Amino acid sequence: MQKDVLKEEIKREAKRLGFDFCGFSKAEFLDEEAPRLEQWLKNGMHGKMHYMENHFDKRLDPRMLVPGAKTVISLLQNYYTEEKQPDDAPKVSIYAYGKDYHLVIKKKLKVLLGFIREQIGNANGRAFVDSAPVLDRAWAKRSGLGWTGKNTQLINPKAGSYYFIGELIIDVELPPDYEIKDYCGTCNRCIEACPTQAIIKPYMVDGSKCISYFTIELREEIPVEYQKKMDGWAFGCDICQQVCPWNRFSKPHNEPELLPNKDIMKMGKEEWMDINEDVFKSIFASSPLKRTKWEGMKRNLRFLNANHNNSAE
């Protein structure tokens, strides 16, 4: 099968599987990203995420993850929804409303890899969804699926930034797509809106100051100096996406497995504050929220409640 034809067949199958966008790039060393990643780590912007220091070379070269890799196929899965939590509820990032995306996307990627093998026979490859040393936004950018915004999120000009990113790294050479222009222009809304000033300059996020880092990645107590800057977030943060003008193009997804969990969506402040470990494990068994573990979620809720009490004094 001709490479151009195979590429189009893969895009059609990706669409059938429910992916919104599919792009291709050459599997090679990420020379532009290497010095930025090195400096970011050197400046300690990864905070306590020590795993970011591991596998530095693998993060930059997919050929170290898949021997003989020739192509990186990047895929976007929309997770936007217009459903809202109760007004008094501790805020949860909307990507976590539904089932754990790792499970949903990985399953689709494996089907797509199987499809490729059916078309051309033996093809070596691996599927990745935010669980291995892969710079997914860099590959999606190289594949022409969007540009990296000033908040470092991938922004698609037709659909905004509410997307999960997955990759197939394969040893099959396919024609690459091309990067698109950056359309952030003079807009600085994301920078101005961040309550913790985590976006320290355009295209640079200090992860150690990010609300998502505090509520998900950090395993110790949240620094007290951020007591009045959490804006009610208990898991993740969507502020820099909420204010982005490009997200006016966002439309609700139609992936059944990512539909909001009804138990989560009906929980108000009282239900959240009264939740016990057994209920937590039951409601969030297949949810991204389980990443914080019970102890982490209780810490987040205590922190928000202390902030509320201090504000009321």
Q: Tell me the per-residue pLDDT of 21-71, one tens digit each, with 9 for 90 and over.
A: 999 999 999 999 999 999 999 999 999 999 999 999 999 999 999 999 999
Same domain, yes or no: 111 and 155: yes
Which CA distances in Å does 172 have to 16, 26, 165? Answer: 21, 10, 20
d(CA 170, CA 113): 9
**Token pair belonging to 216:** 């998900």
Same domain, yes or no: 279 and 199: yes
Which CA distances in Å does 242 have to 80, 161, 222, 267? Answer: 11, 10, 24, 22
Same domain, yes or no: 283 and 255: yes
Same domain, yes or no: 307 and 217: yes
d(CA 16, CA 219): 40
Residue 118 pLDDT more than 70?
A: yes
**Token pair belonging to 123:** 């093809």
Answer whether residue 179 is part of any domain.
no
Residue 187 pLDDT more than 80?
A: yes
Answer whether residue 175 is part of any domain.
no
Q: Model's pTM, two decimal places?
A: 0.95
Same domain, yes or no: 110 and 197: no
Same domain, yes or no: 222 and 285: yes
Q: Which pLDDT score is estimated for 256?
A: 95
Same domain, yes or no: 218 and 246: yes
Instruction: Give the mean pLDDT of the chain.
Output: 95
Answer whether residue 87 is part of any domain.
no
Answer whether residue 88 is part of any domain.
no
Q: Which pLDDT score is estimated for 309?
A: 55
Answer whether residue 68 is part of any domain.
yes
Give the residue carrying structure tokens 């599987």: 17
Same domain, yes or no: 119 and 210: no
Question: How many angstroms from the chain centroid is the CA of residue 65?
Answer: 20
Question: How many angstroms from the chain centroid is the CA of residue 202?
Answer: 19
- Amino acid found at 236: G
Q: Which pLDDT score is estimated for 306?
A: 86
Same domain, yes or no: 206 and 159: no
The CATH code of the domain that includes 17 is 3.40.109
Helix/strand/coil for 172:
coil
Last residue of some domain: 138, 170, 202?
A: 170
Beta pairing class for 233-235 and 91-92: parallel
For 262-308, the pLDDT digits (tens) are 999 999 999 999 999 999 999 999 999 999 999 999 999 999 998 65
- Average pLDDT, integer, range 207-223: 97
Answer whether residue 184 is part of any domain.
no
- Could you tell me what percent of the chain has a pLDDT over 70? 98
Select from 243, 82, 99 the least CA-distant residue to 161.
Answer: 243
Identify any residues that bridge with 40 across adjacent strands, giving them in sequence order: none
301 contact partners, CB below 8 Å, separation of at least 6 = 90, 234, 272, 273
Same domain, yes or no: 58 and 19: yes
Q: Which pLDDT score is estimated for 313?
A: 42
- Could you tell me what percent of the chain has a pLDDT over 90? 94
Q: How many structural domains does the chain have?
A: 2
d(CA 162, CA 279): 29
Last residue of some domain: 140, 170, 200?
A: 170
Identify any residues that bridge with 160 across adjacent strands, giving them in sequence order: 156
Q: Which residues span the domain enclosing 76?
A: 3-80+98-170
- Catalytic residue, chosen from 20, 31, 130, 177, is 130
Question: With contact defined as beta carbons under 8 Å apart, do 41 and 53 qualify?
Answer: yes
For 73-110, the pLDDT digits (tens) are 999 999 999 999 999 999 999 999 999 999 999 999 99
Tell me the pLDDT band of 312, cut-offs 50, 70 and 90.
Answer: very low
- Average pLDDT, integer, range 184-208: 98
Phi and psi for 154 in degrees, rounded to 5? -75, 125
Residue 311 pLDDT more than 70?
A: no
Q: Which pLDDT score is estimated for 307?
A: 66
Asked if 130 is an active-site residue, the reply is yes
Same domain, yes or no: 109 and 62: yes
Answer whether residue 183 is part of any domain.
no
d(CA 100, CA 235): 14
Answer whether residue 182 is part of any domain.
no
* Beta strand extents in 98-185 (DSSP E only): 125-128, 147-148, 154-155, 163-170
Question: Which DSSP helix (H) or strand (E) runs through 237?
Answer: none
Same domain, yes or no: 68 and 138: yes
Q: Which pLDDT score is estimated for 310?
A: 52
Which CA distances in Å does 301 have to 10, 77, 98, 99, 238? Answer: 44, 30, 20, 22, 18
